[in-house]
């Protein structure tokens, strides 16, 4: 029974330290990056300057947030409330940041790939139209 109580106390103290300053092993509620990634995922792909501008602004916001959080995780800056990450939470902070970074890079890659596919298919359509017009002009002239 004593061992059971000790194990419970250990688990409780581990959870309490992991939740200190909002650092959890799951989602980090203080990070802006997941919300920015979600906005990026919800961005409607279109062959327009507005899409490119929105995409570029969101990517720049993600990059800026990454840099801010990297400084926070290293202990060089504080969060919005003036709190600095504790030494024992730095590694956890960097793991969370790495997870967000990888998710952001995957999302950016997927959107760029889809956008380039859209542009490529439109260029192929235009090329096919030009080919059809040239063939029609040749048929008319001979």
Q: Please tell me the distance from the alpha carbon of residue 109 to that of residue 58, in angstroms, as a whole number.
A: 13
**Is 21 domain-assigned?**
no
Q: What is the pLDDT of residues 72-111, one digit of tens each?
A: 998 888 877 788 888 888 899 999 999 999 999 999 999 9
In which domain, by residue range, is 123 found? 30-141
Evaluate whether residue 11 is within a structural domain.
no
The confidence band for 24, taking pLDDT boundaries of 50, 70 and 90, is very low
69 or 16, higher pLDDT: 69
Considering the entire predicted model, what is its pTM?
Answer: 0.69
90 domain residue, yes or no: yes
We report the CATH number of the domain holding residue 125 as: 1.20.58
Between helix 49-74 and helix 90-141 the angle, nearest 10°, is 160
The 3-state secondary structure of the chain reads CHHHHHHHHHHHHHHHHHCHHHCCCCCCCCCCHHHHHHHHHHCCCCCCHHHHHHHHHHHHHHHHHHHHHHHHHHCCCCCCCCCCCCHHHHHHHHHHHHHHHHHHHHHHHHHHHHHHHHHHHHHHHHHHHHHHHHHHHHHHHC
pLDDT band at 31 (very low <50, low <70, confident <90, very high): confident
The answer as to whether 15 is a domain residue is no
34 pLDDT higher than 80: yes
Is 16 within a domain? Answer: no
Structural domains of the chain, count: 1
Distance between alpha carbon 131 and the CA centroid of its chain, in Å? 41
User: At which residue do the structure tokens 């760029």 appear?
Assistant: 112
| pLDDT-based confidence at residue 3 (cuts at 50, 70, 90) | low
Does residue 93 lie in a domain region? yes
Q: Name the percent of the chain lying above pLDDT 90.
A: 59
Q: What is the pLDDT of residue 26?
A: 40
- Whether pLDDT at 8 is above 70: no
The mean pLDDT value for 114-122 works out to: 94
Spatial contact of 49 and 122, defined as CB atoms under 8 Å apart: no
Average pLDDT, the chain: 82
């Amino acid at each position: 029974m004593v061992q059971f109580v000790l194990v419970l106390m250990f688990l409780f103290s581990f959870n309490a330290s992991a939740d200190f300053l909002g650092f959890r092993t799951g989602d980090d509620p203080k990070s802006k990056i997941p919300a920015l990634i979600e906005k990026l995922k919800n961005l409607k792909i279109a062959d327009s300057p507005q899409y490119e501008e929105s995409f570029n602004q969101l990517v720049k916001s993600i990059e800026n947030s990454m840099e801010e959080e990297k400084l926070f995780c290293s202990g060089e800056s504080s969060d919005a409330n003036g709190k600095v990450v504790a030494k024992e939470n730095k590694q956890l902070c960097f793991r969370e940041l790495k997870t967000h970074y990888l998710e952001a890079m995957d999302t950016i890659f997927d959107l760029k790939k889809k956008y380039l596919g859209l542009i490529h298919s439109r260029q192929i359509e235009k090329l096919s139209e030009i080919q059809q017009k040239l063939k029609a002009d040749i048929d008319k002239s001979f």
